Every structure is written in C-alpha cells, then in structure tokens.
Chain A
Amino acid sequence: MNSLPLLVTALLAAPRHLLAEEQFNFPPPEFSRPYVFPDTPTPAPRPEWLGVADVVVLAVALALAAYFGLRTRSRRHLVVLTGFSLLYFGFYKKGCVCAVGAVQNVAMALGPEQYALPLVVGLFFILPLVFALFWGRAFCSSVCPLGAVQELVLLRPLKVPVWLNSALALLPALYLGLGVLFAAAGSTFIICRYDPFVQVFRFGGGTLMVFIGIAVILLSVVVGRPYCRYACPYGFLLGLLSPFSREKVRITTGDCINCHLCADACPYGAIQPPTPAPQYLPRAAERKRLGLLIALLPVLVIVGGGLVRLASPLLARADYRVRLAAQVWQEEQGKLTDPTDETEAFAKRGVPTSDAYVAALQVHRRYATGSWFLGGWLGLVLGLRLVSGSVRRHRSIYQINQSACVVCGRCYHYCPLDRQRGLSLTDAPQEDQS
C-alpha cells in the first residue's frame, strides 16, 4: 500500500483536536507554516421575518377573499385574487408551508414526539379556520394554491351524481384521520407526500407524483375541484366550521324565484334545490328512525375504533422505526441474508439490536392508541352523515350548502334577479362561460 508510510507518520503525530471521543484514521497534520483552514460555508435559511411576511400576505388575502365573495360579490375579483395566490403561495412559496399540510404539524406537536410547532406554521393553520367561522371558506375561494390550480383549469364541469358526490365527500375525513395519525405518531406527513399539485409549483418531483399530479389536473378540467371535494383534509375542517359562519354566502341578494339557473352554474354541487312540498303524515316513523340512528352513533364509534385497531400493526409500518426493526429481526433470524441499506445504517450506529425493537414497540403502542381514535372518528363521521341525511330539512328555495360552497362566485351572476337589479353589471358580461 502506497499510503502506509503516510499512515505511520500520521499515527505518530499528536492529535490536536477537541473531538476527544472520536477516532480518526488520520490525525490532522501538523503544518510547518501557519495554515488557516478554509471556511466550511454554511449558508443561512430563509430569514424568519419572511415567514412572518407570508402570514401577513395570508391574512390580507383571506380578508380580500371574504370581501370579494360576500360584499362586492365579484367573480372577476375573486379570479384575480386566485391568480395572485397561485403565483405567491404556489410558484413563489413552492407550496410550502400551507394550511393543508399544517394540520400535520399541529397533530405532531400534540403527539408524543418532541416537536415544537413553529409560530408561522401555527398561524397558517389557525387563520383560515378563524375566517371560516365568520365568512365561510374564504381560504378555499381564492387563497389556497391547490384550490387555485383546480379552479383555473376547470373548463367543462360535469355534474357528479348527488349520491356519488355525497359518498365521495366522506373520503376527506378518512384522509384527515390518516394524516393526523401518521403525523401524531411522528412517522411521516402523508398529506405533503401525496400532494398532487406541489410538483407543478416546483417543476419537478418524483415520477409517480408527477404522474398523479397530471392525472388530477386533467380530471380537474371536467370535474370541479376533485381534490378539494374528495380528498382535501383541510377543506373538510373548513366545511365543518363554515355552516356556523356569521356571514353566509348567498346566491342572490334578492328573493329567489326558483328559476334553477344558479344550480346549473355551480360546478361543485353546492346548491341544493327546494324540497318537495312538506308532508305532515309519517312524522312518527321518521322520528323513530332518527332516534335509532342517534342511538347507533356510539356503536359505530366503538365498532369503528375496534376495527381500525385490528389494522394498527399494518398502519404502523408507515413508520421507519417499525420497518427497521422488522428488517433487523429478519436478519437476526437469518431470513434476510443480504443486509439492506437500513440494517447497514443501523449496524453502523453500533447500538444493540434491542434498541431497534424497543423503539418499534413504542411506535406500535402509539398506533394501538391512535388507531382507536382514527376508527372512532371514522365511525362518528359516518354516523353523523347518516343522521343528517335522515333529518328532514325543508327548503322552499334554492339554497347554498354552506359546508360545500367554496365561494367561487360563479352562481352570483346567474341569478336573473341580481342581473336585472344591475348589482353585478360590472362583472356580468365576462361571466358567460359555464
């Protein structure tokens, strides 16, 4: 070996450094002339105040969205704001951090992992929810960059059948539950990993996600906001709050004459037609069914919890520590002959294998508890869905389902009364596309 003499001289030289516990193959040299070590460059991250500026932009955008959606009732203004949000939160901020993903940061901060929620992320999570309490889904309307992509590519909206729409509308609850579980357990942020639009903002990403992103965008051309309606976990939260908002989105500023034009205009199935004339006959039977369903609620919660608890070991495999322990175990049992990258990295750390098992066991326990919550949550959502489906709500006019309305402003100009009144004359001519 050429390096042998070098090695010997190196070993003879006295170690000069503070890294007492570390062993080096080659002690740093003793130079005869004074020598200045070149700097190890460590460029700083984006300064914190820029994050605060993002929060300010978010707040202003939310306020504008509420103003345009509820006061000026101008679709054109909303579209301009949507474009701005797409540029700022999407292309400039590259989609991170956003309120949708912040759900997971909050979940992880509440979970057993040592994680302190950064203030900026917390504000991104809280602000749109507070706005929803007062002015509905202003965030979805024209602030969310994910919503913006879908809103702007929607050209030929197809009507999704009502039954399919309400069945698929349960998926966000599942996605939210899973996202919170994986984040709270400290495993991974699936909502970020499987965000279909973030590759658009970054002009790149994993092949699979680029493919999914293209597919979802193509789908968004003919189906109104498929991600918002059938996947978005944050939209689900906003939809829970918006029915209680102080100011509600209205189709018309006047009295509805049941002309049906608005319902055709809404690409998101958020406008509900009037119910048939009220019948006063089989009320008792209906009451009984409702009572039964409400009694069923706790049963659904418990059964749901128990069922998902059964799947908990499977869910736990989303965690690195569990996967590692399984591989280490297989290797110890001789079932795995070639070490994987994971087991190799673990071996390099030089800790006993029991460490891997203890860590995995701890994660399994988190999932055992968490899966009860997830199952209970799913049971609850399903049960409440059944209950609300069987409550008879009477509508004599066309009404907006506040929970589903994303305040896109499309329906405003379809109301012939508003047109006549000239309330929206400034915007009306542009809005002839369906």
Chain B
Amino acid sequence: MADEPGKLTRRELIARGVRGAGLLCAAGGLGALVTRGQAENLVWQIDPKKCIACGKCATECVLNPSAVKCVHEHEICGYCELCFGYYVDQRLDDQETAENRRCPTDAIRRAPVEDPYYQYIIEEDKCIGCALCVEGCQQFGNGSLIMQVRHDRCLNCNQCAIASACPADAFRRVPASDPYLLRLKKQGNA
C-alpha cells in the first residue's frame, strides 16, 4: 500500500467520502424507519375468504406437521347434526361409522349440545392442516371452519413457503399485533 504515497491519500479521501455518504444513508434510513408510525413486525396469515381449501397448506409448509391448522369460528357455525366438515357428504345415510369422517386424523371432536345441535371442536395437536373439513364446510356449511396460520408454531419465514404455492393467493402479511384473519371480527380485537 505504501508504494505510492500520493495515490494513497486520494484513495483515503474517496474512502472517507464513501464512508460519510454511507453513514448518512444509514442514518437517514434508520430515521425514516423509527419516525414512521408502523414499524411493527409482520406475520403471515390466510385470508379465509380467498382460501379454496386446496390442501397445499398441509404439504408446503417448511414445518411438518404444518404451522397452518383448521380453526373453528363457533359463532358462525350452524351446529348442524350433519356437519359437512365432519362427515363425508356422499355417505350420509350410514353416518356414524369412522370411514364417513372427513378428518384423516380424527382431529374433530363432536359433542351434542341439545337436540338437534352438535358442537364441533378442533383438537389442534391432531390437526395436520389438510383442509378437508374446511372444504366440506365451505361447500355445504357456513364456512365456519377456516385455515389459519398458528403463530405459536409458525417460524414467520421471510417468504412463507405455502404463500408461494397457494393457488388462491390467500396468504398475506398482517401486523403482528392483529395476527388472525377470522371471518367474524370480534369487538375489541382491533
């Protein structure tokens, strides 16, 4: 480095200029980030209005089992005796047997409330996010079973692998303070 002293100073001068400019940019960028209101973290979530229950949520997630699971919005549910999320619709006559259940992992628990209403509860540890129940409920029911990213599991990948594969473009980034896109927005859940 020491062979051409004249050049050295010129180089050092340029370097100082670049450093100064770089610091200014960094400070400016940082200032913009801090002063802006929304600097909050974003997380992935599924818009249930767009989801077509294609089943990719179970297979595309980097986690196995997937970070996406079925969620039941009980307030919308019809509490039907013949839940299309619970039973396969073609075999309604012979309904009580296990083959007629939709859920491959038996993650939906059914309990009578009062005649003729039944309550359906998702046992999340069993759910693999296959969306079969969601498909049934979407087609024939109220659409109270929806797919949602479960944030206790999700790694919040910078690019969600399911979002890249979702045929319905149903994934989007939402603020971490309001991380679910339920169909029924509850009051005070803003």
In the complex, chain B residues whose CB is within 8 Å of the CB of A220: none
Q: Which of A26-62 contact B (CB under 8 A)?
A: 26-29, 31-33, 35, 37-38, 40-46, 48, 51
A394 and B4 contacting across the interface, CB-CB below 8 Å: yes
A94 closest partner in B (C-beta):
B155
Q: Is A71 an interface residue (CB 8 A)?
A: no
Number of residues in A with C-beta < 8 Å to the partner? 80
Asked if A19 is at the interface (CB within 8 A of a chain B CB), the reply is: yes
Residues of chain B with a CB closer than 8 A to A28's CB: 75-79, 142
CB of B169 to closest CB in A, whole Å: 5
Main secondary structure of the interface of A (DSSP, over half): loop
Contact A115 B173 (CB under 8 A): yes
CA distance A205 to B62 in the complex (A): 5
For B22, the chain A residues whose CB sits under 8 A away are: 129-130, 133, 241, 244
A257 at interface, CB cutoff 8 A: no
Q: Which residues of the other chain, A, contact B119 by a CB distance below 8 angstroms?
A: 38
Give the residues from 161 to 192 in chain A that come closer than 8 angstroms, CB to CB, to chain B.
188-189, 192
Cα of A94 to Cα of B54 in the assembled complex, Å: 27
Question: Which residues from chain A contact B114 at a C-beta distance below 8 Å?
Answer: 31-33
B97 interfacial by beta-carbon distance below 8 Å: no
Surface stretch bound by B, among A118-126, A305-313, A364-372, A424-432: A118-126
* A3-B80 in contact given A42-B179, A46-B156, A48-B40 (Cβ < 8 Å): yes
Chain A positions 191-209 with a Cβ under 8 Å from a chain B Cβ: 192-193, 198-199, 202, 204-206
Q: Nearest B residue to A45 by beta-carbon distance?
A: B151
Contact with B along A102-145 (1 / 0, CB 8 A): 10110000000001111111110010011001100000000000
A193 in contact with B41 given A38-B119, A117-B33 (CB within 8 Å) = no
> Contact: A45 with B43, CB < 8 Å?
yes
Comparing A73-81, A343-351, A379-387, the segment that makes contact with chain B is A343-351
- Does A2 sit within 8 A of B, measured CB to CB? yes
Contact B155 A96 (CB under 8 A): yes
- Of A129, A342, A394, which contacts B26 at CB under 8 A? A129
Using A104-B159, A345-B54 as known contacts, list a sample of 20 further A-B pairs with CB atoms less than 8 Å apart, ordered by residue number in A: A18-B184, A19-B183, A26-B79, A29-B79, A31-B117, A38-B72, A40-B74, A41-B71, A42-B180, A44-B151, A104-B158, A120-B41, A121-B158, A188-B164, A202-B155, A205-B161, A244-B14, A244-B15, A245-B19, A340-B167
Q: List 6 A-B contacts (CB under 8 A).
A: A26-B141, A45-B151, A45-B176, A96-B156, A105-B158, A345-B52
- Residues of A whose CB lies within 8 Å of any CB of B are 1-3, 6, 10, 17-19, 22, 24-29, 31-33, 35, 37-38, 40-46, 48, 51, 94, 96-98, 101-102, 104-105, 115-123, 126, 129-130, 133-134, 188-189, 192-193, 198-199, 202, 204-206, 241, 243-246, 320-321, 324, 340-342, 344-345, 348-349, 394, 396, 399
